[in-house]
Amino acid sequence: MSHRRLIPADATSHSRIVGAVHSAILGAMLGAIFAAAQPAPAQSGNLTLPSSIEAGGAFSVTSSGSGKGTLYIVGLGQAIKREVQLGETTVFAAGTLYNAGNYQVILIGDGTDVTESLAVKPAAQPADVSFLAKPSRLPVRLQGGITGAVYVFDAYENLITAPLPVNFDLTGPAGGTQTRTVISRDGAAWAEMNSTDHQGNDKFVARIGNVSSARIIGQVPGDPCGLKMTASPNRGEVKLETAPIRDCSGNAVPDGTVVTFTEAYNGLESTVDVPIKRGIAEVEMPAHSGAVISVASGVVMGNQIRWERQ
């Protein structure tokens, strides 16, 4: 904590407005007139304070002179007013000034009128991480399908703008872990991950030092792969039944996924949408000799069968 000693500025560097004003415009008018027309108020004394502190750190402000005064510390993050004894040191305990930002330190006393600046820096130690992960659910084997972004905060919810290494770990259902280490910039960092081969839950963790935040990402099977059906006669109709439907990683495609059977015969086409039940899809369609029957699910085509009279 470096200290400096400051001599109060005169009216050439600080405009002073004296007197009560009752509106913003009138205040500006009077301020301009008085600042130009009146001599600077008599000033004495000075102010010794650190140029910067860490958020929540203890610090002290020392003034010279004698008598009573009022010390103000004012910024966007906090406003503090203390009655002080000029010529003494005023101690601000740890945790008093903790919101990062720029503050004016103003000392007003009998013949004393000093203003100085004080910067409050975010604490160096991360205490909280705001972690946004997307999506909450996605198909397996998607390159760059998972993204995570973090903002890093200290214990006082100040954004830590100094660069920090942020680790992103994605642990898949089968146990493998992808890791990325990213240096934060102005308190923010992000990473992209791939969904893995197996359906289930991924644990996506962002970690900075001892602070971490986790999100669960659901991996669902991808599109069916190698969709295949068989046909057999059944009471004058043709019974169509798929093999157990799986994605390209071997995960069972969930029940309820729609499978489409299409029969083309004599220039006509009939289509039946069937949900997967217990891992397969089945349907009965009219048995037209010479009909061409195909199966598909979404954009994935399966095999094709030409049905001949049995």
Partner 1 sequence: MRKAALAFGAIFAVASVTAAAQATVRVEPTHLDGPRALAEQTEQGAIRDYLESWKTMRAALNQNQPALLNADFVGTAKDKLTQTIHEQAAAGIHTRYTDKAHDLQIVFYSPEGLSIQLQDTVDYEVQVFDHDKSLSIRQVHARYIVVLTPAEVRWRVRVLQADTQ
Please state, as a whole number, how many other Cβ atoms lie within 10 Å of the Cβ of residue 288: 18
d(CA 206, CA 168): 5
Region binding partner 1 by CB under 8 A among candidate stretches 94-102, 168-176, 197-205, 275-283: 94-102
Determine, following the binding rule CB under 8 A, whether residue 93 of this chain makes contact with partner 1: no
Q: State yes or no: residue 138 binds partner 1 (CB under 8 A).
A: no
**Contact (CB, 8 A) for 122 and 107:** no
Dist. CA 260–CA 281, nearest whole Å: 9
The residue within the footprint of partner 1, chosen from 60, 151, 218, 248 (CB under 8 A), is 151
Position among 64, 66, 78, 257 found at the interface with partner 1 (CB under 8 A): 78
Least separation, in Å, of the C-beta of 271 and partner 1?
Answer: 38
Q: How far is CA 221 from CA 139, 148, 163, 241, 265, in A?
A: 5, 21, 38, 21, 34
- Binding-site size, partner 1 (CB under 8 A): 64
Does 44 contact partner 1 by CB under 8 A?
no
CB of 100 to partner 1, least distance (A): 5
Q: Are 270 and 276 in contact (CB under 8 A)?
A: no
Confirm or reject binding of residue 172 to partner 1 (CB under 8 A): no
The DSSP 8-state label assigned to residue 246 in this structure reads B
Token reading at 230? 């068989």
| Residues at the site binding partner 1, with contacts judged by CB under 8 A | 14-22, 24-33, 37, 52, 70, 72, 74-81, 99-102, 104, 106, 108, 115, 117, 119-122, 132-134, 144, 147-149, 151, 153, 157-159, 161-162, 185-188, 190, 192
